[in-house]
Structure 1
Amino acid sequence: MALKSSNKVETNVYELEITVDAETFTEACKKAYMKQRKSIQIPGFRKGKATQGMIEKVYGEGAFYEEALEIVYPEAVGSAFDEAGLKVIDQPTDVEFPVMNKQDGVVIKMKVTTYPEVKLGEYKSLKGKMLDTEATDEDVENELKSMQDRNSRLVTVEDRESQMGDTCDIDFEGFVDGVAFEGGKGENYPLELGSNSFIPGFEEQVAGHKTGEEFDVNVTFPEQYEASLAGKDAVFKCKINEIKTKELPELDDEFAKDVSEFDTLDELKADLKKQISERKEANAKTDYENQLIEQVVENMEVEIPECMNKQKCDEMIQDYSYRLQMQGLDLNTYLQYLGQTMEQFREQFMDGAKQQVKVKLALDAIVKAENIEATEEEIAEEIAKLAEQYNMEADKIKAAVTQEQLTDDIVTRKAVDFVVDNSVKE
């Protein structure tokens, strides 16, 4: 088996011609015969007892070619890729077998898409601005308000109209052109006014009504809604059964004791200030890195094969689907709820996929240019960190994640650190 020729026919695309010698292919035919003989019936022979020659005489010399090709193809193609020094990133196309017999062996012709060549531009001495990391008193107050809201309770109110922020227990039924539609009815539904959980304009029209009052809500379904309702005008017959409002706890030492490990409100505020500052520092670090990496991407030259973008998009959708499954939903049901086709859903991910591919190509190029490597100690530390994160034994982490994946993660992070360490803060 050998690589006969490798020719670049366009950017990131090579045309290969690969040969499998007659002896190797003949031996593969014998292996194919041994594998299939028990299932082949030839008149005059007991099942499984016919010789290879007799079977080929009855069914033709090529009786075992297809199976033999499956035997030799993977090694022949893999060896050819290595010999040509090509990093192939997609399934071969335009695959042909102009020659395939035991006298001459096999000739395989194909086109392959390879990992793109990246020409790095400037990636050192880049400039970026760090976000402010100071935790202000206003930040602390906002955090306390959020904690207040999370620890509030709902109390029923009488003799007043509903307001934005209230939670209304409502009955409703929707009609389009005077006909009730499926899924448009609900009873004793708790709707928080201002949560934007209903169709735009619905919640605002519930506000201003009292308990026991019946009224109509007129809305237009968004164009992106389920196909049968998209863009249509609807009338919802509504009734408010009960109005509840949030009752916030007092911000005092008792509140601090109830919601934290601290005895005083001042201690809680000090801890919140520290947490906010740490959070801002982490966000500032990430934002600064992103600024620099965006510049690296802008400065490089590369033609990216479309298959890389599609593969990354597939990965992102698969990850999204997995997270939906964790919530008890499947992707097809979710798409029906959104009123979207898979193609429309994919479009939402494609821009992000393209950017991720560009970033990875840029960082891989820096790893190569700077000879960045992962040490055994760093790999061991990464395994220990993952084991702690997922509460698993180190051996199970090693079985689940390849060393190649671990190495790739480490050198990618080190490439980002290299860009940051060689940058200039404005």
Structure 2
Amino acid sequence: MKVNKEEIGENKVKLEVEIEEERVEDALDEAYKKVVKKVDIDGFRKGKVPRTLLEKRYGEEVLHKDALDILIQQGYYEAVQEADIEPIDQPEITDAHIQGGEPATFTAEVEVKPDVELGNYTELEVEPEEVTVEAEDIEQELEAKRQEHAQLVGVDREVVEEGDFVTIDYEGYVDGETFEGGSAEDYNLEIGSESFVPGFEEQLTGVEVGAETTVEITFPENYQSDDLAGEDAEFEVKVKDIKRKEVPELDDEFAKDLGFETLDELKSDIEEDLAAEAEEKADRAYENQLVEAAVENAEVDVPEVMVEEEIDNMLEGQKMQMQQQGFDFDEYLEMTGMDEEALRDNFRGQAAERTKSNLVLEAIAEEEGIEVTEEEIDEKVEEIAKNQGQDQDPEQIKAFLQMQGQLDQLKDGLQMEKTMEFLKDNN
């Protein structure tokens, strides 16, 4: 096979491919085996019509389309390998020609991964952030744990006060008519939390248990329901119960309830966790700064098709995340007032930055000969298997990833990790 490569524009290549006549004949035979199954000619069983008779009856061209499909599929893949290019989009095939006894030819134009002109990426003037854990951070975490283990207990009074947790029944009216979502029974509400419509909670202070009262409010102009925004409403409310939050004392007994011997031991554990969290956050920030500096020193034109592909990935990730959280994507779009195209536009800037960063990191990996071994891939697969459960077979997981086309993604991810480690070790 002969391949002539020509650069015809920024990140675009034209391949002129010629395939030897022996392979053309093989492709015509394959096409014949496919076409003959669909042909009926008197005197012959279906699928048994000789090729010469088939071509005489319908013309040699009857096999050309299928044969070309075979040759182009095979030939394009081989031409890409021979030309040593990395396509980033589907090719545009033109000038395809086939004739028995002659070489077949076609032209493929395709956008390819751009060249990256690396600048300085070692000894960058980037300093990792110093990690410290302040005493007030520990105190805040202790208070959060106290609140997390607080209990609601009954009170020796009958009148609602600020900070109480009350159980109420209510029914709302606008212009004397009930409205959707305007009523509930046994609703739990913290007085002063401002979690209800503004003005509602304040009017319940001073109300006695068992008493019924009328609460008058005006829905905010920016209320989530357009039908209620700015409307005056009345709620008939009955207070059924009052409780108060009881927070545990911050002492050794509290620490023991959390599995520690003393309060000091609990504080030390919190300090270690906060330090580890801060170190991880600082490490991520340091990595981002290193990449940003390396990217700033490099020159690369990011193809739009790669940006669009990254937007596709981000959009799918958003949908999957929302699905895992139990949200409907279409409802999310409606709530935010956007359509999918507007969301894609929101992702565009970040997608362009990600794509450029990935291109620069890949170029650094190639320049430094950073590769991923089969042993490293197997170790990662074993880690995945271990995280999924003891019964998971690493070989089965690897086979599944291979079948889903995700093994290359895993390998790319490992290469990016190793490249990141290289940057940190050399700066």
How far the C-alpha of 1:394 sits from its partner, in A, is 2.5
**Bigger radius of gyration, 1 or 2?**
2
The residue that corresponds to 1:218 in the other structure is 219
The residue that corresponds to 1:128 in the other structure is 126
The residue that corresponds to 1:350 in the other structure is 348
Counterpart check, 1:208 vs 2:202: yes
Are the equivalent residues in 1 in contact too, given 2:161–2:191 (CA < 8 A)? no
Moved more, 307-316 or 31-40: 31-40
Counterpart check, 1:409 vs 2:413: yes
C-alpha RMSD of the superposition: 3.4
How far the C-alpha of 1:166 sits from its partner, in A, is 6.1
What TM-score, normalized by structure 1, do the two folds share? Answer: 0.83
Change (3 A) 1:297 1:168: farther
Work out the CA distance in 1 between the residues paired with 2:351 and 2:35. Answer: 45
The residue that corresponds to 2:52 in the other structure is 53
What SS is found at the alignment partner of 2:198?
helix
Structure with the bigger RCO (C-alpha within 8 Å, sep 6+) is 1
How far the C-alpha of 1:113 sits from its partner, in A, is 0.9
Work out the CA distance in 2 between the residues paired with 1:347 and 1:245. Answer: 48
How far the C-alpha of 1:77 sits from its partner, in A, is 0.1
Work out the CA distance in 1 between the residues paired with 2:68 and 2:173. Answer: 63
Change (3 A) 1:339 1:132: same
Number of aligned residue pairs: give it: 409
| 1:31-60 alpha-carbon deviations (Å, 9 max, x no partner) | 122123223223554433333333334444
The residue that corresponds to 1:331 in the other structure is 329
The residue that corresponds to 2:398 in the other structure is 398
The residue that corresponds to 1:28 in the other structure is 27
The residue that corresponds to 1:187 in the other structure is 184
Task: State which of 126, 143, 146 in structure 1 corresponds to 2:144.
Answer: 146
Identity among equivalent pairs (%): 33
| 1:70-112 alpha-carbon deviations (Å, 9 max, x no partner) | 222221001111111111111113x213423335443222211
What SS is found at the alignment partner of 1:303?
coil
Work out the CA distance in 2 between the residues paired with 1:120 and 1:345. Answer: 32
Change (3 A) 1:370 1:250: same
Are the equivalent residues in 1 in contact too, given 2:95–2:106 (CA < 8 A)? yes
The residue that corresponds to 2:210 in the other structure is none
The residue that corresponds to 1:340 in the other structure is 338
Moved more, 379-388 or 307-316: 379-388
Work out the CA distance in 2 between the residues paired with 1:170 and 1:98. Answer: 76
| 1:150-194 alpha-carbon deviations (Å, 9 max, x no partner) | 22234578534666x96775756697x99988x655534556689
How far the C-alpha of 1:286 sits from its partner, in A, is 1.4
Structure 2: gaps spanning 5 or more residues: 208-212
Change (3 A) 1:87 1:220: same
Work out the CA distance in 1 between the residues paired with 2:368 and 2:189. Answer: 57
Are the equivalent residues in 2 in contact too, given 1:167–1:191 (CA < 8 A)? yes
| 1:374-409 alpha-carbon deviations (Å, 9 max, x no partner) | 345544443333332333333234324456444433
Are the equivalent residues in 1 in contact too, given 2:162–2:192 (CA < 8 A)? no
How far the C-alpha of 1:303 sits from its partner, in A, is 0.3
Counterpart check, 1:65 vs 2:64: yes
| Matched AA of 1:418 | F
How far the C-alpha of 1:221 sits from its partner, in A, is 3.9
Are the equivalent residues in 2 in contact too, given 1:81–1:87 (CA < 8 A)? yes
Are the equivalent residues in 2 in contact too, given 1:387–1:397 (CA < 8 A)? yes
Change (3 A) 1:213 1:180: closer
Q: Aligned ranges for residues 7-406 of structure 1 at < 5 Å?
A: 7-43=6-42, 45-93=44-92, 95-154=93-152, 159-160=159-160, 171=170, 185=182, 187-188=184-185, 203-210=197-204, 212-221=213-222, 229=226, 233=230, 238=235, 240-242=237-239, 246-258=245-257, 260-375=258-373, 377-391=375-389, 392-401=392-401, 404-406=408-410
Are the equivalent residues in 2 in contact too, given 1:121–1:300 (CA < 8 A)? yes
| Matched AA of 1:187 | A
Are the equivalent residues in 2 in contact too, given 1:297–1:362 (CA < 8 A)? yes
Moved more, 407-416 or 271-280: 407-416
